[in-house]
Every structure is written in structure tokens, then in C-alpha cells.
Structure 1
Amino acid sequence: MADPSTYRPAPGAIPTSPGVYRFRDAHGRVIYVGKAKSLRPRLSSYFQDLANLHPRTATMVTTAASVEWTVVGTEVEALQLEYSWIKEYDPRFNVKYRDDKSYPELAVTLNEEFPRVQVMRGAHRKGVRYFGPYGHAWAIRETVDLLLRVFPVRTCSTGVFKRAQQVGRPCLLGYIGKCAAPCVGRVSAAEHRELAEEFCDFMAGRTGNQLRRLEQQMQQAAAETEYEKAARLRDDIEALKRAMEKNAVVLADGTDADLLALAEDELEAAVQIFHVRGGRVRGQRGWVTDKVEDVDSAALVEHALQQLYGGDTASVPREVLVPALPEPLAPVQEWLTGLRGAQVDLRVPQRGDKKDLMETVARNAQHALALHKTKRASDLTTRSRALQEIADALELDSVPLRIECFDISHLQGEDVVASMVVFEDGLARKSEYRRFQIKGFSGQDDVRSMHEVISRRFRRYLREREQTGEWAVPEEGPEDDGARPDGDGPRTEDGRPKRFAYPPQLLVVDGGQPQVAAARRALDELGIDDVALCGLAKRLEEVWLPGQDDPVVLPRSSEGLYLLQRVRDEAHRFAITYQRGKRAKRLTAGGLDAVPGLGETRRTALLKHFGSVKKLRAATVEEICQVPGIGRRTAETVVAALASRTPSAFALNTATGEIMDDEVPQGTQHSTESGEPK
């Protein structure tokens, strides 16, 4: 580990001009590339006390052995040079892209005497008209197959075209009417080019003229009793309409825009782009980004724009809609304008159809990230590597085949609950999820709550293990979970003990040093010393071990960290779901749900107006009548219904001391993903 002070540039040696800088390690490899409007303050920010740096930044500067920079004229030049160097050096501490495939585009070679329609990938060529990109080549071929019926443009290769010219006989497409056969002179070069240009107009969104022209020709043919020609034109119109349905209108006709959306967590981000041309979604692409460096949404947008438009296939539209604007905005906008050769509007949509479409793109990004996580988690080799990395980092004797994670959830100290999730072999075992209601009043004290729930879980474990004669149960205290079961312990079909009788190899708690210390204290009180323990702090993804002052920092690309994060997030989700259910039950337990004629809308209005059932109980009929939608008769009914319930009974429904079963399988509830208590 290098000391940054050993390679820190001398004071005043760094220029204040815009530029791009590179950090190199001891072997001369570039490990990070960055740009700055002014190099001196940016580089100076890296050479401060390591305690003040973000952990990922601190790791980078201690890995580096030297820094160098290149001065450029403007911020736009810095942006371009940064992108070029990232592509050239692939630095380990820069954002990593998994967009290693090229996306197909529909191309019309207008630079040839007889233009050809084909699927193309890679760099754009001069004189070729491009449409897309598309997610799959088959999507292009389906669209082209429909359009060739109306616009029979050549699709054959140069070799096939020349061979047909030599033998004087067209290929199969020429015989079935899906090619105008310019190779044998059925149409002239000028007529064929006109067909190609009409094809391009249709793909560009100018569809109305083509449909009106065909409809007029169909009506004229029918009037002249040329019914076969009219039927053929009718089928052509239907083919065009089917092709249009594949690219439904989403924005005003003629709108050209790219919409970019993100879905991210602490380790990764999914990027989704919709390409809208002529008001229709012409293509879609996306990729997953490893967040190796510490970046926010605005920085991710800037990186994504570099990835999207920095290559040779760049096609910048008139508008680029993003979820967050890069900072600073001017250089990026100027760079895009230079690529397009005209003004580019880079902005965040605020209302209307474009905002609605942006929400659709964001949902696609969320689904892409979820699918990526599912694929990553289902891979056996990846799971095995993740478990081994955890064992190595925590210095365990063996890989933790069973991991249990605990999380505490509450809303401003009310409805305090806890969750326990179980992962075996790196996969969630939802049938063994458990949820707890904190029995003692813990308020917002997550440490006390964690101690209580760990104690209860492992006291049950010891009690059920005692049935086999292998363990003695500590003397039960006031927080014991209930009567001791008699007889043989319950077992599954494969003979394994059910419920709490199966201990984890690794116990994970959501939190840092305080939560880990509380869990360790609970295990020590019960005499359990064969269960490994760690905590995962959410803000910096640090792994804390009992009795250690410094955390274990796993690499951001580590599969072990990814698994621990997934376990922690699942515990968080499960706890929040239970807490929301209790909160909703508490809000409706005051008797409002039993008031005749009082629906959900008016119940919500009453609670919103008064703030709580307790204040509503103290209100008069006249005060209740002031709530919109509440008449005097309804107000009297509400007062009578609340008066019929004693305050003590209501207190029993809302107090956190209500005792519930410790274990409730995950399948007994339904969850939503909105809101964030705790």
C-alpha cells in the first residue's frame, strides 16, 4: 500500500487549466482516469487525510504510485480525451460497462447505384441511412419482411446481385414480388432508388403520405373494376399498418429523441435507452454498470452518454432526455451539439408524454437490473465463489452454507419489528424466514432491539437442541419466549430439525459496530461461540467484525460482497413489509373501519385532517363536519362509533407490547415496495 504523500506533486506544479489526469500503480498500469475544469483543486483533493476520503477513493490513492496529467483547451476536449483514455486503458477504478455487444441497425445503402436494405453493426459509413439501433436482429428482419411487399427494395448481397445480372434470372424474392429485380432490368436504377427513398421516408415516420397514396390507388382500382389490383393494394395497406403497430406512436409525430433511465443500488446500475424517431420507439438498448468508483446519478448519466455517443456509431438526436443532468452541464451539451452538428436539447422531462415515457424506460431499467441479479445469483459457480470469498475475508474455517441475517424496522420508534432471512448455498430459503415483534419497548434503540431478537432466536435454538440431549438450556429470564416444548423435536421429511433448531454458519446483522456488539453480547450470554458474526453497514458497504476497530472492506466487484448485500437487502425488505402491515393495522384498529358508510377515502381524509385516531376521538361533531366529504349524519355516526370503544381497548391495539408468535412464515403476508420506514 503506497503512501500518497510519496508521489504528491509539488505545490504550484499542477496547472489550473482544464485537463485529464491518470493515476498509475507501481507497475505503470493506469488505474484511474478523470477530468477536471481546473486540475489543481481536483488533484489536490486526492492528497488529503485518508480519513476524509471516501473508502473507494482512499483505496485508489493508496494503490497508485504516480499521477500525471494532460492540459487541454476546453472542458469539451477534456470530456473527449477522458472517454478515449478510459476505452484505451480500461482502468480498474473507473466505472465498468458490460455493454460488450454491438447493436444491430437497419441500414439502406444509398451510396450504391442500386441501394440495398440490410442489417448492419459497427461503425457508420458515409452515404448509408441508418435506423435503430434495435435490441435484436430478428426484430429488423420482421419489419423489413412486411415492408418489402410495398417497397420491394433489393436485399441481396453484391455477389448474388452480380450473378443474377450474368444469368439474366432474378432470385426467389424477385419471383415472389418482394424485390423489384433491378438486376434483370425490371425497373431502372432511378425507379429503384425512388423505392429506396420511399422506404426510408416510411421508416423515418412519414407514414401518412404512403398510406393515403395506396388508399387512393385502391379506390381507383376498385372504381375501374380492377378488383385483383385493389385486393393486392388492400393487403399492402394492412402490411404497412402491421409494421407501424410494431413501432407504436409514443410522442408527437416527427419527434426525434433518446430517453435514458437508470436503476441502481450501491454496487451496480442498469442503464436503459429508448430511441424514438418520428415519434415511434425504433430501438432499445441497455447495459449493466459496475459502480467501481463513487458516483451519483448525475455522474452515471454522464458516463452513459459517453458510452452511448462516444463510439463510431454515434447518432445524436435533437433531444436527449435523462433522469439527472450532468454537472457541469455546459461541456456535455456542447460535446453532443458538436457530434450532431446542430443544437441538442439535454434535459430532464417534467410533465406530459415525455415524462410518462421516461417512467416506462425507468421500469425497463428496474426489470433489467432485477433480471441481472437473478441470473447472477442463480449461477452455481458464482455462488460458490461468493461463499469462498466471504469465508476468506472473515477467516472462517469453512464456507458459510447457511447464512441468517437480521434487521430492525420501525417508524419513529413505533411498531418496532425485526426480520430473519435465511440463505442456504447462496439462495434464499423463504420457507424459513421469520419475523419478530419486539416485546420490550425499544423505541428507536436499534441496538437494544437487535440484542433482544438475537437472544430470542438463539434461546429457541438451544431449547430445541436440548430435546436431543446435546445442549443445556440457560435459566430462562423475563424475556423468555414461552413454555418449553416436550417430546422429540419436530423434523422435516429429510430428518432435519425444523424452525430454530438448525444454526447458521454465519450470522449477519444490518448495521455497524453497535449492532454487532449487541449481537455478540447476546450470543455470549447464551454461551454460543461456534457461530460466526458480522455486520454490514449500508452507507459504505463495510463489513464489521466483533471486537475490531476497523472494518473489512471487500472489493466492489467482489461476489462475496454482492451476496452479503443481497442477504442484507432481503432482510430489510422483509422487515419493512411486516412493519407496514402492523402500521396499517394500527391505523384501522381505532374503529373507523367499522363505521357504517365510511369508506377508505373518507377514513383517509379524517386521519389526514386530525393526524391520529386519538385526536379524532376528542373532536366534536362540528369539527368533524369541517372535513371535506363528511356530513353531519356521518360525523355523528363516527362520534358514536368511537365513543363505544374504550380508550384502554384501543391502547391494546396500538401498543408495541402486544405479543405475537415469534415465527411467521414469509408466505403468510403480501408485500409492496413503496415507502421507506426506518
Structure 2
Amino acid sequence: MFDIQEQLKNLPDKPGVYIMKDQENNIIYIGKAKILKNRVRQYFQSSKNHSPKVQSMVSNIAEFEYIVTDSELEALVLECNLIKKHRPKYNVLLKDDKHYPYIKITLNEEYPRVLITRRTEKDGAKYFGPYTSTTAVRETIDLIKKVFWIRTCKKVFPRDIGKERPCLNFHIKQCLAPCQGNINVESYRQMFKDICTFLDGKQDMLIEKLTKDMNDASQRLDFEKAASLRDKINSIKQIAEKQKIISSTLSDQDIVAFAAGEAETCVQVFFIRGGKLIGREHFILDGASPLERQETMTSFIKQFYNSASYIPKEIVLQSDIDEASIIESWLTGKRGSKVYITVPRKGEKQKLIQMVSTNAFETLQQFERKIKKQKHFAQSALTELMDALQLKKLPLRIEAYDISNTGGAESVGAMVVFENAEPSNHEYRKFKIKSVKGPNDYESIKEVLFRRLKRVKQEQKQIEEGTLDEEKAKFIHLPDIVLIDGGKGHVHAAKEIVNELGMDIPVFGMVKNDKHRTRGIVTEDVEFNIPIHSNAFKLAAQIQDEVHRVAISYHRNIRGKKILVSELESISGIGAVRRKHLMEHFKSIEKIKKANTEELEKVQGIDKKTAENIYEYFHD
């Protein structure tokens, strides 16, 4: 037995991370301490000063362990990583762990390119962002292409200069054709410096420079170039008018504020770059208490910036955070230069905080209305489904299956999971049909369901033997009902497997009408009359559409890969052996497509000539 009082006496007076566990050995809380002995003991002293959440957490502690670190900063980093990995019940948790898209200008290359990336590196390139959606990034890059006429091809320069004719973009005046040597490297690089100025938000400087170039071209009687520069200037002016300067400091800042509701807390972040608002994002926190503002803000800052690709020079907060100085040091280390955390009480920054806080409150209200609507739909749909199908309990977990193939070739199965009437994407599973030859949906359903349900018994045995952690089991949870995309014959096939494995799981089929849309739900004997406008019918239609989408997407993916792998052998110099070496080296066709000749030559059996053949095949 774990003796808490005895272990408290043995705690060291060193920095580190402590891990609280319940009776079932589940991690329920992770924290860091400057001095472990002092911090952990506080939990087990008088509970009068503890918040209700802490009191509840302490009452569930069966044991604890700790990890000693060399410094408080090291403890902070370890705490962030452990929380992200284990997501304990009593920690404030960030639901949305995103990597935002950035625009990357490859100034480290002789002929730069414009790319989308979600990771920033110290590689000599310039990064702009973060942007709150990939759509915003693509729109910005499309605008850059339109204004600056940069190349969009995948040719490698200067190696490929002069090898092929220019593409259509050159002829419609959307590319300067560096592939033909129409622009020298110095001028091309200068154009990308102008793009960087544009992305930095310094449009006035760029307009001034382009205006000078336009006037110079006009004086040289080069009216075509002058007109082109004039059009660029007008496009940039239109963009500049849309962007709003909201910070006179003209620096990079993140403005962070939140609004707390009864069950959730919404944190809003405004991303300001060069004094201009380039985007905003909101996050929902689980386990945050309206009374614990400081803990809420501290937890968010740690989790958000632990995985952030970019750290701004200044982070402006709505309220104070614990251990501000150590967090500043941590962020400074991640950024590579000084980071300032400020909590303004008045002035321009305080007005910004109020604006962000107002947006957080509006977003929280929208989120709560959405959750309320989802809960009502789920309760209504599941109750109606239970009554219509004469089930003994609410079908809180529904699994649906579908088979997809082309004339029996590349046959696959898909399993989707709906929990509380919502798709649980991380529990979706896909199956390649192994034992069935030809187009036989009934036997394919049997194979998929057998493999899925057999795994339940295998994992149960592994858990009992102690060779598998229950949290890592992928098939352990049984469905309340199984839905098959098909009619009575499909239901009969599925029931054979369920009965063979001795499981009591209701099985139904989802049938479609002449227009290939959901008509109703059937068993082997009867079709249930579910009103088309009911929530139960809407849920069934959603499930059927989703499982069909997953199955057919997987089938197309498998079929496309097989076609491409076979297509490799149509390239001069590639036979079965070299194709095998290529796939073993690159793992996918997509990576072979993106590889340059130098990378291709590293593959066993691929000489220079063959590498050039492969490259030209995919880049012609």
C-alpha cells in the first residue's frame, strides 16, 4: 500500500514535476514545483483554503510520484510535455492543439520560392504568420503570384534553366519565366525581397519603391513595364486599405484574453504583426474555473506556446500569471531573443485587451448555444432511435460498416464510430479485405466484422495478462448497435459473425432509395418506419453518408496507389526490382514525385540517367 504521509516526509527540496494518481493508477493531475517538498505538502494540509476543484482532486489521490529536475525551467518544459501526453482530468486542458500555417520565403535558395508550412526552422528562410486558416494563406499566395509574377512550377534552378519551353503562365503574363533565363538571379531575388516587404505589412515602403521604378521606366520610354508597375501599385494599395493598424507600436504581439462560462472557458488570441491584425483564433478550455483566472491564463500560456511555431516579441495578457519570470525565460529560449509578458492596466494595450475580451465573450456565447443545440439533437435522435428500433438502452456508441471495391478489385472495408450522435474520428478504422476474392459484399462484411470483434477478445486477454495498457487498446469498446450499409442480406451476414463470437449486439441495415439516399433501417425481417423529418432519420442518414464516404475514399486511395506503383515500371530503366527499391526508400509515390535527381540517385540501383528519367516523367 502507498503511504502518502510517509512519502511526504521523503520529498526532496529540489525543483521538479509531481504526478497525482487515483486508485486505478490513472494520472489525474500534473504540476511543477520550485521546491517539491513545499508544493506537494500543501495539497494535504488544511483544505479550508483550497478551491472546490482542488478539494475534489485531493480526495481522489491514492498515490503520487515525482521527477526531480536540475532547474525550475526544466521542470516547466517537462510539465508541459507530460500534460500534453497524458491530459489529466484535473488539469486545465486546451482542446485545440493546432499548428498554424505560415508563409515561407526560401531566401536560403538561389532562386527563392513561396511555400506553405506549419513548422518554422532556423534554415535561413523567412517565415510570415501565423495565419488562422490555410484558406487565408492560399489567398495571400495567390495574390502574391498575381502581383509579382513568380513561378509556380517545381523545376529546380539553375539546373533546369533552358531545358524546356516556358509554360502557359509566361504567355498570359503571370510568370517572368526564370526557366528560360529571362530574368537574372539578382533581379529575381530582389523581387522576393519586395514580397517580404509586402508580407511584413510595409506596403507604403514598397509602393514608394515601385513608384520610383515606374517613373524611371516611363522616362526610359519603357511604357509596358511602367504600366505593369502601375497595376502592381494599385493592387497593393487596395490591400493596404483593407488592413487595419490596431497597434501604434508596429511590433509583433499576441493579445490574449478570455471569458468564463459555467462549464467552459473561451480564450481568444489576436495575432498582431507589424502593428496590423493578421488573424485571430479562439480556444475552449476544459476544467477551467471562473474563479481561478490566474491558473486559467497560466495553463493556457504554457500549453499554447509549448507547441507554437512562432513566439512574438510581446505577449499582452488580460490577467497576471503564475511564475511570469520563469515563463518569460522559457519563451525567450524558444524565440531566441527577449520575450516580454505584459498585463496592461491602462492605455492602448488595455483597450486592445478589452476588445479581445469582448470577442471571447461573444465566441463563448456562440459555442454554448451550439453545444446546447447539439445536446438537444443527440438526446432527441438517440431516444427516437431507441424507441423506433425497440432497443433496451440508448445507443450511445454506434458503429457503422461499409464495403467498397471496383468489380471486386482492391476491396476495402470501413468502420465509423458515432458517440452521443457525433462522429468520433479518431476511432474510425479501415480494413483491406484479405480472404475474399471477387465482388462479394456479404463475405467481406463477415471478414471485417470478425476482425474487428476478434480484436476485442484479444485486447481483453492482453489487458488481463498485463501486456497491454487499457488506454492504448484500440478495439476494446463494444458498440451499442451495429449499422451495415446494405439490406437484409448484409444484416444476416453480420449477425452470423456476432452470434459466432457469442456477443449480444443488435445489428441493423441502412437501405437506400432509387436516388441512392437513405430510405430507412431494416433487420432480416422488417423495415422500420422512421419519419423522414425526425432527428433519428437525420442521424441515420448522416451515419450512412459518412461510412460510405470513408469507404470509397479509402478504396480510391488504395486503387490510385496501385496504379501509380504499376506506372513506375513504364518509366525507362525501371523494372520490378528498381520499383521495389524506390518504394522501400521513399515509402510513398508522393515522395518519389517530389524528389530531385540527387535524392533519387541515393536509391539502391538507381543511376544518374535513370534518376533523370524518373524526375522528367513526373515533372514534364
TM-score, scaled relative to structure 2: 0.56
CA distance in 2, matches of 1:319, 1:87: 24
Partner secondary structure for residue 148 of structure 2: coil
Q: Does 1:80 align with 2:67?
A: no
Residues 655-666 of structure 1 mapped to structure 2, 5 A cutoff: none
Preserved CA contact (<8 Å) 2:103 2:129:
yes
Q: Is the 8 A contact 1:321 1:347 kept in 2?
A: yes
1:331-367, Cα deviation, whole Å (9 max, x unpaired): 1111122222222221112333333222222222122
Residue correspondences, number: 385
Q: Which residue of 1 aligns with 2:413?
A: none
In structure 2, the residue matched to 1:196 is 192
Q: Does 2:293 correspond to 1:297? A: yes
Residues 76 and 294 (structure 1), Cα distance of their counterparts in 2 relative to 1, 3 Å cut: farther
Partner SS, residue 94 of structure 1: coil
- C-alpha change, 1:62 and 1:273, in structure 2 (3 Å) is same
Contact 1:271 1:365 (C-alpha < 8 Å) held by counterparts: yes
Q: Could you tell me which amino acid in structure 2 is paired with residue 14 of structure 1? A: L
2:40 aligned partner:
43
**Quick one: distance in 1 between partners of 2:193 and 2:25?**
53
Deviation at 1:221, TM superposition (A): 4.3
Distance in 2 between residues matched to 1:168 and 1:187, nearest whole Å: 16
Q: Which residue of 2 aligns with 1:23?
A: 20
User: CA–CA distance in 1 between the matches of 2:42 and 2:339?
Assistant: 33
Question: Aligned partners of 2:262, 2:42: CA distance in 1, in Å?
Answer: 23
Q: Are 1:281 and 2:277 counterparts? A: yes
Equivalence for 2:92: 95
State whether structure 2 residue 354 is matched by structure 1 residue 379: no
Pairing 1:250-329 to 2, within 5 Å after superposition: 250-252=246-248, 254-291=250-287, 296-311=292-307, 313-329=308-324
Q: Measure, in 2, the Cα distance between the counterparts of 1:275 and 1:39.
A: 36
CA contact (8 A) 2:22 2:63 kept: yes
Secondary structure of the residue aligned to 1:102 is coil
Is the contact between residue 272 and residue 364 of structure 1 (CA under 8 Å) also seen in structure 2?
A: yes
Distance change (3 Å), C-alpha of 1:222 and 1:154: closer
Query: In the aligned structure 2, how far is the partner of 1:187 from the partner of 1:350?
Result: 54
Q: In structure 1, the residue corresponding to 2:362 is in which secondary structure?
A: helix
* 2:267 and 2:285 in contact (8 A); partners too: yes
2:328 alignment partner in structure 1 = 333
Aligned pairs for 1:526-675 (under 5 A) are: none
Equivalences for 1:72-471 in 2 at 5 Å?
Answer: 72-122=69-119, 124=121, 126-157=123-154, 168-222=164-218, 227-252=223-248, 254-291=250-287, 296-311=292-307, 313-380=308-375, 384=379
Secondary structure of the residue that 1:283 maps to in structure 2? Answer: strand
CA distance in structure 2 between the partners assigned to 1:180 and 1:87 by the alignment? 47
Residue 6 of structure 1 and its aligned partner are, at CA, apart by 4.5
Q: Work out the CA distance in 1 between the residues paired with 2:264 and 2:382.
A: 20
Contact 2:260 2:289 (C-alpha < 8 Å) held by counterparts: no
Q: Distance in 2 between matches of 1:29 and 1:165?
A: 61
CA contact (8 A) 1:34 1:82 kept: yes
User: Is 2:4 aligned against 1:7?
Assistant: yes
Judge which range, 145-154 or 23-32, deviates more: 145-154
Other-structure match for 2:403: none
**2:190 is matched by which residue type in structure 1?**
E
For residues 10 and 308 of structure 1, the distance between their equivalents in structure 2, rounded to whole angstroms, comes to: 33
Q: Secondary structure at the match of 1:284?
A: strand
Residue deviations 1:392-441 (CA, integer Å, cap 9, x gap): xxxxxx99xxxxxxxxxxxxxxxxxxxxxxxxxxxxxxxxxxxxxxxxxx
Structure 2 counterpart SS, 1:148: helix
Q: Within 2, Cα distance between the matches of 1:262 and 1:229?
A: 51
Which whole-Å CA distance do the structure 2 matches of 1:133 and 1:33 have between them? 29
Task: Label 1:376 to 1:52 Cα distance change in 2 as closer, same or farther (>3 A).
Answer: same
- Quick one: higher RCO (CA 8 Å, sep 6+), 1 or 2? 1
1:387, 1:268 → 2: CA distance? 25
Cα separation, 2, equivalents of 1:197 and 1:9: 65
Q: Tell me if the contact between 2:15 and 2:71 (Cα under 8 Å) persists in the aligned partners.
A: yes
Matched position secondary structure for 1:346: strand
Query: Partners of 2:217 and 2:125 in 1: how far apart?
Result: 36
Shift of 1:374: 1.6
Structure 1 residue matching 2:360: 3-state secondary structure: helix
Change (3 A) 1:380 1:27: closer
In structure 2, distance between residues paired with 1:304 and 1:102 = 15
Do the aligned partners of 2:130 and 2:310 also contact (CA within 8 Å) in 1? no
320 and 117 in structure 1: CA distance in 2 versus 1, 3 angstrom threshold: same
Counterpart of 2:56 (choices 55, 59, 62) is 59
Residues 331, 253 of structure 1: alpha-carbon distance in 2 compared, 3 angstrom cutoff: closer
Secondary structure of the corresponding residue to residue 43 of structure 2? coil
Write the letter of the residue equivalent to 1:277. Answer: R
List gaps (5 residues or longer) in structure 2.
Answer: 384-392, 395-620
Counterpart of 2:372, as a letter, is A
Instruction: Read off the aligned partner of 1:324 and give its amino acid letter.
Output: S
Separation in structure 1 between the aligned mates of residue 37 and residue 57 of structure 2, nearest angstrom: 18
SS of 1:250's partner is coil
In structure 2, what residue type is equivalent to 1:298? Q
CA distance in 2, matches of 1:334, 1:65: 34
Q: Give the Cα separation in 2 of the matches to 1:372 and 1:248.
A: 27
Q: CA deviation at 1:237?
A: 0.7
Looking at structure 2, the residues matched to 220 and 11 of structure 1 have their Cα atoms a distance apart, in angstroms, of 79
Does the 8 A contact of 1:104 with 1:121 survive in 2?
A: yes
Q: Deviations over 1:441-485 (max 9, x none)?
A: xxxxxxxxxxxxxxxxxxxxxxxxxxxxxxxxxxxxxxxxxxxxx
Structure 1 portions without partners, runs of 5+? 389-397, 400-678
- What root-mean-square deviation, in Å, do the aligned CA atoms of Structure 1 and Structure 2 show? 3.2
Aligned amino acid, residue 44 of structure 1: R
Please say if residues 57 and 293 of structure 1, whose CA atoms lie closer than 8 Å, have aligned partners that are also in contact: no
Q: Does the 8 Å CA contact 1:152/1:195 hold for their aligned counterparts?
A: no
Paired with 2:22 and 2:377, the residues of 1 have a C-alpha distance of: 29
**Cα drift, residue 384 of structure 1:** 1.9
Q: Say if 1:90 and 1:294 are closer, same or farther in 2 by CA, change over 3 A.
A: farther
Give the conservation status (yes or no) of the 8 Å contact 2:251–2:273.
yes
The 3-state SS of whatever aligns with 1:342 is coil
CA distance in 1, matches of 2:50, 2:249: 50
* Structure 1 residue 300 displacement after superposition: 1.9
For 1:238-259, what per-residue CA distance to the aligned partner results, in whole angstroms no more than 9, with x for missing partners? 1112232343222236412111
- What letter is aligned with 1:210? L
Question: How many Å separate the matches in 2 of 1:53 and 1:317?
Answer: 35
- How has the CA–CA distance of structure 1 residues 158 and 65 changed in structure 2, closer, same or farther, with 3 Å as cutoff? farther
Relative to 1, partners in 2 of residues 1:195 and 1:232: Cα closer, same or farther, differing over 3 Å?
Answer: closer
Q: Is the 8 A contact 2:29 2:88 kept in 1?
A: yes
Displacement of 1:117: 0.9
From the superposition, tell whether residues 219 and 74 of structure 1 become closer, same or farther in structure 2 (CA, over 3 Å).
Answer: same
Q: Distance in 2 between matches of 1:289 and 1:380?
A: 19
Distance apart, 1:154 and its partner CA = 3.3
Q: Contact conserved, 2:93 with 2:299, CA < 8 A, in 1? A: no
